[in-house]
Amino acid sequence: MEKMLQIKGHIIRDDILKRIDASCVQYNGTYRVLELIVGKAVDDLSSAKIAIEISEEGFNLILNELTNLGVTIPTTEVHAKLKPSEKDKTVPDDFYSTTNHPTEIFLEGKWIKAQNQRMDAVLVVKNDEVFCTKLRDVKKGDLIVCGSEGVRILQEKNGSDEHEFAFMINDVSSERRVELVVKKLAEEMKAIKANNGKIVVVAGPVVIHTGGMDAFQDMIRKGYISGLLSGNALAVHDIERDLFGTSLGVDLDTGKVVKGGHKNHMRAINAVNKSGSISQAVQDGTIKSGIMYELVNHQVPFVLAGSIRDDGPLPDTIMDLIKAQEAYADMVKDAEMVIMLSTMLHSIGTGNMLPSWVKTVCVDINPAVVAKLVDRGSAQAKGVVTDVGLFLTLLNQQL
Amino acid sequence: MEKMLQIKGHIIRDDILKRIDASCVQYNGTYRVLELIVGKAVDDLSSAKIAIEISEEGFNLILNELTNLGVTIPTTEVHAKLKPSEKDKTVPDDFYSTTNHPTEIFLEGKWIKAQNQRMDAVLVVKNDEVFCTKLRDVKKGDLIVCGSEGVRILQEKNGSDEHEFAFMINDVSSERRVELVVKKLAEEMKAIKANNGKIVVVAGPVVIHTGGMDAFQDMIRKGYISGLLSGNALAVHDIERDLFGTSLGVDLDTGKVVKGGHKNHMRAINAVNKSGSISQAVQDGTIKSGIMYELVNHQVPFVLAGSIRDDGPLPDTIMDLIKAQEAYADMVKDAEMVIMLSTMLHSIGTGNMLPSWVKTVCVDINPAVVAKLVDRGSAQAKGVVTDVGLFLTLLNQQL
Amino acid sequence: MEKMLQIKGHIIRDDILKRIDASCVQYNGTYRVLELIVGKAVDDLSSAKIAIEISEEGFNLILNELTNLGVTIPTTEVHAKLKPSEKDKTVPDDFYSTTNHPTEIFLEGKWIKAQNQRMDAVLVVKNDEVFCTKLRDVKKGDLIVCGSEGVRILQEKNGSDEHEFAFMINDVSSERRVELVVKKLAEEMKAIKANNGKIVVVAGPVVIHTGGMDAFQDMIRKGYISGLLSGNALAVHDIERDLFGTSLGVDLDTGKVVKGGHKNHMRAINAVNKSGSISQAVQDGTIKSGIMYELVNHQVPFVLAGSIRDDGPLPDTIMDLIKAQEAYADMVKDAEMVIMLSTMLHSIGTGNMLPSWVKTVCVDINPAVVAKLVDRGSAQAKGVVTDVGLFLTLLNQQL
Amino acid sequence: MEKMLQIKGHIIRDDILKRIDASCVQYNGTYRVLELIVGKAVDDLSSAKIAIEISEEGFNLILNELTNLGVTIPTTEVHAKLKPSEKDKTVPDDFYSTTNHPTEIFLEGKWIKAQNQRMDAVLVVKNDEVFCTKLRDVKKGDLIVCGSEGVRILQEKNGSDEHEFAFMINDVSSERRVELVVKKLAEEMKAIKANNGKIVVVAGPVVIHTGGMDAFQDMIRKGYISGLLSGNALAVHDIERDLFGTSLGVDLDTGKVVKGGHKNHMRAINAVNKSGSISQAVQDGTIKSGIMYELVNHQVPFVLAGSIRDDGPLPDTIMDLIKAQEAYADMVKDAEMVIMLSTMLHSIGTGNMLPSWVKTVCVDINPAVVAKLVDRGSAQAKGVVTDVGLFLTLLNQQL
CB contact under 8 A, D262 and C136: no
User: Measured between alpha carbons, how far is D25 from B39 in angstroms, rounded to an integer?
Assistant: 13
Statement: residue C174 has pLDDT above 60:
no
pLDDT of residue C349: 94
Statement: residue C120 has pLDDT above 70:
yes
Nearest Cα to Cα of residue B110 among B71, B66, B78: B78
Mean pLDDT value across residues D323-344 = 96
pLDDT of residue A323: 97
Nearest Cα to Cα of residue B134 among B378, B290, B352: B352
Statement: residue C251 has pLDDT above 80:
no
Q: How far does CA D304 lie from the centroid of its chain?
A: 17
**Min CA distance, C13 vs chain A (Å)?**
6
CA distance readout (Å), B300 to A51, B229, B343: 54, 11, 20
Q: Which of C17, C25, C37 sits opposite A42 (nearest CB)?
A: C25
Per the CB < 8 A criterion, the answer to whether D233 and A199 are in contact is no
What is the DSSP secondary structure assignment for residue A312, as one 8-state letter?
A: S
The DSSP bridge partners found for residue A341 are: A203, A363
Statement: residue D68 has pLDDT above 80:
no
User: Measured between alpha carbons, how far is C252 from C211 in angstroms, rounded to an integer?
Assistant: 8
Helices (H) and strands (E) in chain C, counts: 14, 19
Q: Hey, what amino acid is at C340?
A: M
User: Measured between alpha carbons, how far is C237 from D373 in angstroms, rounded to an integer?
Assistant: 17
User: Measured between alpha carbons, how far is A24 from A57 in angstroms, rounded to an integer?
Assistant: 11
Chains in touch with B (≥3 Cβ pairs < 8 A): A, C, D
Q: What is the pLDDT of residues B162-177, one digit of tens each?
A: 434 444 444 445 556 7
Element (H, E) at A182: helix A178-194
| Set of chain B residues whose Cβ sits within 8 Å of the Cβ of A273 | 87, 89-90, 135
Statement: residue A39 has pLDDT above 80:
no
Helix (H, G, I), strand (E, B) or coil at C56: helix
Statement: residue B8 has pLDDT above 80:
yes
| Set of chain A residues whose Cβ sits within 8 Å of the Cβ of B64 | 260
User: Measured between alpha carbons, how far is A374 from A371 in angstroms, rounded to an integer?
Assistant: 5
Statement: residue C361 has pLDDT above 80:
yes
| pLDDT range class, residue C158, cuts 50, 70, 90 | very low
Q: What is the pLDDT of residues A59-114, one digit of tens each?
A: 878 887 887 777 777 755 789 999 999 999 999 999 999 988 889 999 999 999 99
Q: Determine whether A212 is exposed, middle or buried from the number of CB atoms within 10 Å of its CB (0-12, 13-18, 19+).
A: buried
| pLDDT range class, residue C241, cuts 50, 70, 90 | very high
Statement: residue A297 has pLDDT above 70:
yes
Q: What is the pLDDT of residues A116-143, one digit of tens each?
A: 999 999 999 999 999 999 999 999 999 9
| pLDDT range class, residue B252, cuts 50, 70, 90 | confident
Q: Hey, what amino acid is at C310?
A: D
Mean pLDDT value across residues B286-299 = 98
Statement: residue B181 has pLDDT above 70:
yes
ipTM: 0.89
pLDDT of residue A55: 85
Q: Which of B135, B319, B325 sits opposite A266 (nearest CB)?
A: B135
pLDDT of residue B159: 39
Q: What is the pLDDT of residues A324-374, one digit of tens each?
A: 999 999 999 999 999 999 999 999 999 999 998 999 999 998 888 878 887
| pLDDT range class, residue C317, cuts 50, 70, 90 | very high
Higher pLDDT, D85 or B154: D85
User: Measured between alpha carbons, how far is C119 from C354 in angstroms, rounded to an integer?
Assistant: 8
pLDDT of residue A255: 67
User: Measured between alpha carbons, how far is C293 from C290 in angstroms, rounded to an integer?
Assistant: 5
Helix (H, G, I), strand (E, B) or coil at D356: coil
pLDDT of residue B166: 42
CA distance readout (Å), C24 to A315, C36, C56, C59, C77: 58, 19, 12, 9, 24
CB contact under 8 A, A273 and B26: no
Q: Are strands D46-53 and D110-115 parallel, antiparallel or unpaired?
A: unpaired
Choose, out of A168, A171, A177, the residue to mutate when testing the contact with D (most D CBs < 10 Å).
Answer: A177
pLDDT of residue A214: 93
Nearest Cα to Cα of residue C92 among C108, C104, C81: C81
Mean pLDDT value across residues B135-152 = 93
| pLDDT range class, residue B271, cuts 50, 70, 90 | very high
Per the CB < 8 A criterion, the answer to whether D373 and D172 are in contact is no
Statement: residue A21 has pLDDT above 90:
no
Is the omega angle on the peptide bond into residue A84 within 30 degrees of 0, that is, cis? no
Mean pLDDT value across residues B65-72 = 78
User: Measured between alpha carbons, how far is B279 from B296 in angstroms, rounded to an integer?
Assistant: 6
Q: What does the mean pLDDT of chain C come to?
A: 87
pLDDT of residue C41: 64
CB contact under 8 A, C210 and B393: no
Most confident of A219-223, C253-257, C356-360: A219-223
Per the CB < 8 A criterion, the answer to whether B361 and B386 are in contact is no
Helix (H, G, I), strand (E, B) or coil at A232: helix
Helix (H, G, I), strand (E, B) or coil at D294: helix
Share of chain A above pLDDT 70, in %: 91
Statement: residue C160 has pLDDT above 70:
no
pLDDT of residue C155: 65
Higher pLDDT, D8 or D322: D322
CB contact under 8 A, A90 and B352: no
pLDDT of residue C267: 93
Q: What is the pLDDT of residues B97-121, one digit of tens each?
A: 998 888 999 999 999 999 999 999 9
Mean pLDDT value across residues B147-166 = 61
pLDDT of residue B368: 80
CB contact under 8 A, C321 and D322: no
Q: What is the pLDDT of residues C49-62, one digit of tens each?
A: 888 888 887 887 88
pLDDT of residue B286: 97
| Residues of chain A with a CB closer than 8 angstroms to some CB in chain C | 12-13, 15, 17-18, 21, 24-25, 30-33, 36-38, 40, 42, 367-368
Nearby residues of A285 by Cβ (< 8 Å), 6 or more positions away: none
Q: Which of B167, B177, B254 sits opposite C389 (nearest CB)?
A: B177
pLDDT of residue C292: 98
Mean pLDDT value across residues B43-56 = 84
Share of chain C above pLDDT 90, in %: 55
Mean pLDDT value across residues B269-287 = 97
CB contact under 8 A, D36 and B37: no
Q: What does the mean pLDDT of chain A come to?
A: 87
pLDDT of residue A148: 82
pLDDT of residue A75: 59
Statement: residue D337 has pLDDT above 90:
yes
Nearest Cα to Cα of residue C266 among D92, B397, B205: D92
Statement: residue C162 has pLDDT above 60:
no
Which residue of chain C has the CA closest to A24? Answer: C42
Q: What is the pLDDT of residues D132-188, one digit of tens each?
A: 999 999 999 999 999 888 888 876 654 334 434 444 444 445 556 788 889 889 999
Name all domains of chain B by residue range, CATH numbers in brackets. 1-74 (3.30.70.2690), 77-155 (2.40.420.10), 160-397 (3.40.50.10690)
| Set of chain B residues whose Cβ sits within 8 Å of the Cβ of C390 | 178-179, 386-387, 390-391, 394
pLDDT of residue D85: 97
> CA-based angle A131:A303:A196, to the nearest 5?
70
Q: What is the pLDDT of residues C318-337, one digit of tens each?
A: 999 999 999 999 999 999 99
CB contact under 8 A, D42 and B21: yes
Mean pLDDT value across residues B301-327 = 96
pLDDT of residue D181: 85
pLDDT of residue C165: 46
Mean pLDDT value across residues C313-319 = 96
CB contact under 8 A, A180 and D255: yes
pLDDT of residue B374: 77
Lowest mean pLDDT among A236-240, B10-14, C277-281: B10-14
Statement: residue B253 has pLDDT above 80:
no
Q: How far does CA C115 lie from the centroid of its chain?
A: 16
Number of cross-chain residue pairs from A and C with Cβ atoms under 8 Å apart: 41
CB contact under 8 A, C211 and B389: no
